Structure 1
Amino acid sequence: MMRAISDYDTSKPSLWNSEANQKKMIALWKKLASRYRDNQWIGGYDIINEPNWNFTGTNKNGCDENSNGPLRDLMVAVTKAIREVDPNHLIVIEGNCWGNNYNGIFPLWDENMALSFHKYWNYNTVESIQKMLDYRKQYNVPIWLGESGENSNVWFKDVLTLVESNNIGWAFWPMKKIENIAGVTSVTKIPEYDVLLKYWKDGGQKPTPEFAKKALMKMADNYKMENVTVKPDVIDAMFRQVQTNDTKPYKTHVIPGKIAATQYDLGTNGYAYSDTDFINYRVETGNFDQWNKGNTMRNDGVDILPCKDSGSNGYQVSFIEDGEWLQFTSEVKKQGIYKVAIRYSSEKSEGKIYFETANGKKSESIVLPATGGNDKWKTIVLSGIQLEAGTNKIKTVFEKGGFNLNYLDFSEGKK
C-alpha cells in the first residue's frame, strides 16, 4: 500500500506508542554509529526525519505541540547510545511539524549538535527563518536547512539567497526525481513502473513478482547519474542566479538562423523572461499556483508543452498571456535589417507580437490571426528588425497572448 511521507500503519504500534520500537531504533543508531565512528566522509547523524506527531495537541503533524516531551526523550536516548561508541560525529536533530517545531526541545544535551529545519512553499523573507536564527544565537548552536525544493526556479534562487546571506548551509530534496522539472536531475519513467503504480493505488490484477522485480530494477538503473536528465536551468537558478541577475544564453543562437522559443535565456523572472505565474507560495496563500502550466522541459514561469509541429525542438511555449516576454541572447553575423518567420498556432485568439533590442529599438507589432486549432501551425513574417553585429539581447514581447509559439527563424531581409 502506498503511503504519504508521514503516514503510518494504524494496525501496528507506532514508534511513539511502542517501547519495543523505540528500543530497536536506539539499538540501530548505536550499530550505525559503531560502524561509521571513524569515517570522515560521514558529516553527521540526522536522528529522525520530520517526526510529525500530535502528542498532546490537535494538529496531526505536531505543529501546535508545546512540550514535545516524547520526541526530546527519544532523541536524548539515541544521542546517549551514539556517544557510547562514537564521540566524533555531529548529531543533527529535527523539530516536530516537518522539522520546524522546537517547543520543549531545549536545553540541548550534547556539545556537538546542529538544528535542522525544512522549508517549502512559503515566503522567502527573514521572518520565515527568524525563529531558527534566534535559536542559533540563543543556544549557540549551528542551524542548517536540511530539506528544501519542490518549487520554481525563482523560489530556488530566493530561498538560497536568503539562507546563504544568513550563513546557513542547505540541502535540497530530492536531487533525483521521476519525470520532474523541479529537480537538479530527472529520472526517466518506464511503462512497466506505471503498471505497478496503478496496482498499488487501485488494486486489480496483481503483477507477477518477476515483472515487479524487473520493473523496479530497471527504474533503479535509470537513477544512475549516467542515465538521468540533468536540468541546466535548475542548476543555474540554484548557483549562478543566487549571485547575479545577469542572463546567459540557454544555448548558442546564431542569426541568421532558427531559435526555438523554449530556448530563451537562463536567468530569473524580469530579466530572462517575464511571466505572470512564476512561483508557488501555497503554505502562505492556500493556493496551489502552477508556475509552469505545461510542467515540462524547464522549471521557470514560462509555460511549456510538448510540440509535434515539424521543425520544433519537441517543445513549445504555451498559455501565453498579455505583456509576457522572452529574451534570446543571439550572435548576429553582421549589422543589418532582418526579417523573422514566426511559427505559431492558436485556436480562436488573435495574438500580437513585437521585438525589442537592448538599446531600446522596437520593431513594428504584427498581428497573429487565429489558425483554427492549437495543433494547426502557421508561419507569419515580420520584417524591418534592426540588429547590430555581435551579441544582441532580443526581447520577444507578447503584446497580446492566447497563442502557442514554436520557433523564430531570422533571415536577412529589407523592409
Structure 2
Amino acid sequence: MLLLAGSEPWATPAAAQPLSLLHTKGPALLDAQNRPVVLRGINVGGWLLQESYILRTDSLNSQGRIQQAMLRTMPEADVEDFYRRYRAGFITKADIDFIARQGLNCVRLPLHYDLFLTGAQRRARTRALQNPRHVDAYVQSLSTWYDQNQLFTDAQNLDGFRLIDDVLRWCAANRLYVVLDLHAAPGGQGADRNISDCLVPLDLWKRRDAKGRLLYQDLTVRLWQQISRRYRTDARVALYDFLNEPNGLSTANGLAGDNSELSELYSRLIDVVRAQNDQHVVLLEGNGYGNEYTNLTPDKLRTPHKGNLMYNAHRYWCPNDTTASDANSLQINLIHNLVTFRERWQVPVWVGETGENSNEWFAAAVQALNQQNIGWCHWTLKRVDGRTSLLNVPRYGSLLTPAGRMALLRNSEFRNCTVNTDVVAALTRPTAAPAAFVPHVVPGTIQAADYDLGRLGQAYSDTYATRTDFRNHTPHNAGDAYRNDGVDIEPMPDSTATILAVSHMEAGEWLSYTVTVPQTTACAVQLRARNPTAAAAQLLVRVDGQVLAGQVTVPGGGWQTLPVGNVQLAAGTHTMQLYVEQPGAVVSWLQFVPLAGPR
C-alpha cells in the first residue's frame, strides 16, 4: 500500500500497488511512476538495540550496561543465547502484520553495528564492554580486520543482514517500505550511551588507531558500502538513514562545533553508496538529536551527488503550533522551520522519530504534519508497561534473574502484548469524533477511567494534557496508568481490591461517556468516590446536557458511594458527562441501577 500525498494513513487504498524504488524531485518524494509518496509509519525500537527505558531497566542506562550486568552472573555464551532468543521473538511477522492493519506504510528499523560482526569479533567487543582497559585492544583488532577486509563481508551468516532480510520479507508481504537506520554506529555517534551504546562517548569522531586513522568512521563507511552492495536495487528499502541522532558535536566536547565532522562523514557515505550505482534516497540527520543542519545543507556537502537527499527531524516535547518558529532556520524540529527548510532548499523532509508524549500531542502533531504532506514515524511500536507505544508489553520482573528473562521473552511476543487503542486512534484518526472507549450499557457500571476515546475538549477536558517544553518533566498523566491522555489515572485500594481511579481532578475538568440503552429504562445514578482533602469537593453529572439533581458533594474521607439522582433514558445512545466544580474528589465509578418502574 502506498500513501500518496494528501491521503490519510487510515484511508482504504483503491488497490495495493507494488513497491518501487523511491526518488526525489525538488521537495517531493516520488515512486517509480512519479507519484508523490508520504511515508507514515512506526519505529521498531528496543529490538535490535535495547534502550533501557523501553525495557524499564532505567538504572542500567544502555544495552552495553545491561550486558555488563548479565555477564557478572552468566557465561558469555548464555548472554549471547538470550539475545538470540530475544531478537527472534521481540519483533516477528505478526508485529509487522499488525502495523500494516493500522493503515501505515513503512517501518523504520533501528540497527546496532555489532549485529554485523562475526561471533569472534563480537566477543572482542564484549571484552571491551567488561573492562575499559580492553578498548584499545578492540580498536587494534578492528584496525587489523579492516585492513584484511574481514569486516561486514559474510552477508549470508551475519545477524544484521539476516534480520534485515526477515523484515524486508515481512514488510513486502504487507506493502510496507523499510527504512534502514544505523542507530548505534561504530564508536558511537554521540554522547548519549542509551542511544549509541558506545564504549566511549563520541569515539566515532575522535578515536584514532595506531595508523592515525579515524577508524570508526572508516568502519561506518565500510558498513554502508556492504549494506549498499546487498540492497542497492532493492525497492523494498525506502531510505538509508546513515546515522541516528548525532549529538554532542560541540566545542565543549573537543570538536569543531559547526558540524564539519558530520558534514565530512556524510559526504563520504554518499560517495561510497553512489559509487555502486545505488540511487536509494539518503536520509540525513542533523546534530542535536537529528535536528540542526549547519554545514549540512546540500550546498555545504562536499560531494557531487546532490540528488536523492532527504532531511530529517526528530520531534519530541515541542509545540505543534505551526506558527511557532526557531530563530535558527537550520534547527528544524518545529513544523514552521521544517516547512521553511523544505521550501528554501527544495528537498523533501521527514520526521523520522516522534512520540513519547500524550495522545493529544500525537493527534495534533499528526494532523499538522499530514496537512503539510510531511511523513512521520512514531517511536515506538512496543515497550514494557508502555503508555505511549502502540503495543504494551506486560511487566516481567528483573532482567538480571532467570525468571525475569524468561518472562520478558514470553511477554514481548506479539500474542502476549495488549493494544493501546487510544494511542492507535490518536495516530491514525486524529480528526475523528469521540467514540466509546469500551462499550457502556445502561443499566450498568461505568468505570471513571473508561471515558470516551477522542481529543482534548471533545472526549475530556484536562488542564495539563501535553508536554511542549523538553525541560518540563511533569507527567501529563500523574498516575502513569491505563491510558495516555492528560487525565490522571492511578491504581489505588478500595475495600479488598485495587481499582483504577481518576484523580488530581481540577475545577473545570470533565469526562464524557457514550452509553447505550437497549430499552427505555429508569435508573438511580450513584457515584463511588473519595476525597483526601479537607475541603468538600463538588461534582456534576450531566446526561445529554441535563444536570442530574444538582451538585454531588464529596466530603473529606475514604471511599463512599454517593447518590446522584434519578433519570429515565429512552432506548438509544446517550452522552454522560462528569464535571468538576470544586476539586478534591477521586472517582472510581458511576452506576446506573434500574428502578422498579418509570419515574
TM-score by length of 1: 0.85
Q: Structure 2 residue aligned with 1:121, among 317, 322, 332? A: 317
Deviation at 1:6, TM superposition (A): 5.5
Deviation at 1:309, TM superposition (A): 2.9
CA distance in 2, matches of 1:215, 1:84: 48
CA distance in 2, matches of 1:153, 1:304: 14
* CA displacement, residues 50-98 of structure 1 (integer Å, 9 cap, x when unaligned): 1113344x5x699x94x31110110111121122335132111101111
Deviation at 1:412, TM superposition (A): 3.1
CA distance in 2, matches of 1:391, 1:264: 15
Matched, 1:295 2:486: no
* CA displacement, residues 109-150 of structure 1 (integer Å, 9 cap, x when unaligned): 431121111111111122322222222222221100011101
TM-score by length of 2: 0.60
Greater Cα shift, 328-337 or 247-256: 328-337
Contact 2:519 2:570 in 1 (8 A): yes
Q: Secondary structure at the match of 1:131?
A: helix
1:277 counterpart residue number: 464
**AA partner of residue 381 (structure 1):** P
1:201 counterpart residue number: none
Deviation at 1:311, TM superposition (A): 9.7
Q: 1:36 to 1:325 in 2, by over 3 A?
A: same
* CA displacement, residues 292-347 of structure 1 (integer Å, 9 cap, x when unaligned): 00001000111101144369894111122222111110012344543212111223
Alignment map for 1:45-60 (pairs within 5 Å): 45-56=240-251, 58=252
Greater Cα shift, 133-142 or 24-33: 133-142
1:357 counterpart residue number: 543
Greater Cα shift, 83-92 or 17-26: 83-92
Deviation at 1:361, TM superposition (A): 1.7
Deviation at 1:249, TM superposition (A): 0.4
Contact 1:115 1:142 in 2 (8 A): yes
2:408 counterpart residue number: 219
2:577 counterpart residue number: 395
CA distance in 1, matches of 2:579, 2:496: 22
Q: 1:329 to 1:303 in 2, by over 3 A?
A: same
Greater Cα shift, 99-108 or 328-337: 328-337
Q: Secondary structure at the match of 1:23?
A: helix
Matched, 1:383 2:565: yes
Deviation at 1:13, TM superposition (A): 7.0
Contact 1:275 1:325 in 2 (8 A): yes
Deviation at 1:40, TM superposition (A): 2.6
Contact 1:332 1:387 in 2 (8 A): yes
CA distance in 1, matches of 2:200, 2:590: 60
Determine what percentage of the aligned residue pairs are the same residue.
Answer: 31
CA distance in 2, matches of 1:11, 1:263: 47
1:146 counterpart residue number: 352
Deviation at 1:216, TM superposition (A): 4.1
Q: Secondary structure at the match of 2:364?
A: helix
CA distance in 2, matches of 1:221, 1:96: 38
**AA partner of residue 539 (structure 2):** I
Alignment map for 1:8-47 (pairs within 5 Å): 14-18=203-207, 19-47=214-242
Q: Structure 1 residue aligned with 2:294, among 103, 108, 111? A: 103
Matched, 1:178 2:376: no
Q: Secondary structure at the match of 1:172?
A: strand
Which sections of structure 1, spanning at least 5 residues, go unmatched?
A: 197-210
CA distance in 2, matches of 1:177, 1:365: 44
Q: 1:310 to 1:249 in 2, by over 3 A?
A: farther
Contact 1:371 1:378 in 2 (8 A): no
Q: Structure 2 residue aligned with 1:228, among 398, 409, 417? A: 417
**AA partner of residue 260 (structure 2):** G
Q: 1:168 to 1:369 in 2, by over 3 A?
A: closer
Matched, 1:405 2:587: yes
CA distance in 2, matches of 1:290, 1:13: 31
Alignment map for 1:223-262 (pairs within 5 Å): 223-240=412-429, 242-244=430-432, 246-262=433-449
Greater Cα shift, 162-171 or 176-185: 176-185
CA distance in 2, matches of 1:81, 1:110: 13
Q: Structure 2 residue aligned with 1:164, among 329, 354, 370? A: 370
CA distance in 1, matches of 2:312, 2:466: 24
CA distance in 2, matches of 1:69, 1:17: 13
Which sections of structure 2, spanning at least 5 residues, go unmatched?
A: 1-59, 63-191, 208-213, 326-333
Contact 2:396 2:411 in 1 (8 A): no
1:341 counterpart residue number: 526
CA distance in 2, matches of 1:221, 1:144: 34
Q: 1:327 to 1:281 in 2, by over 3 A?
A: same
CA distance in 1, matches of 2:533, 2:455: 31
Q: 1:88 to 1:313 in 2, by over 3 A?
A: farther
CA distance in 2, matches of 1:403, 1:86: 66
CA distance in 1, matches of 2:389, 2:463: 22
Q: 1:300 to 1:94 in 2, by over 3 A?
A: same
Q: Secondary structure at the match of 2:273?
A: helix
Contact 2:512 2:578 in 1 (8 A): yes
CA distance in 1, matches of 2:580, 2:496: 22
* CA displacement, residues 361-380 of structure 1 (integer Å, 9 cap, x when unaligned): 2212344443633xxx2211
CA distance in 2, matches of 1:333, 1:313: 31
Q: How many correspondences in the alignment?
A: 386
Greater Cα shift, 377-386 or 292-301: 377-386
Q: What do you get for the CA RMSD once the two structures are aligned?
A: 2.6
Greater Cα shift, 7-16 or 115-124: 7-16
Contact 1:52 1:61 in 2 (8 A): no
Q: Secondary structure at the match of 1:133?
A: helix
CA distance in 2, matches of 1:352, 1:28: 64
CA distance in 1, matches of 2:279, 2:196: 33
**AA partner of residue 181 (structure 1):** R
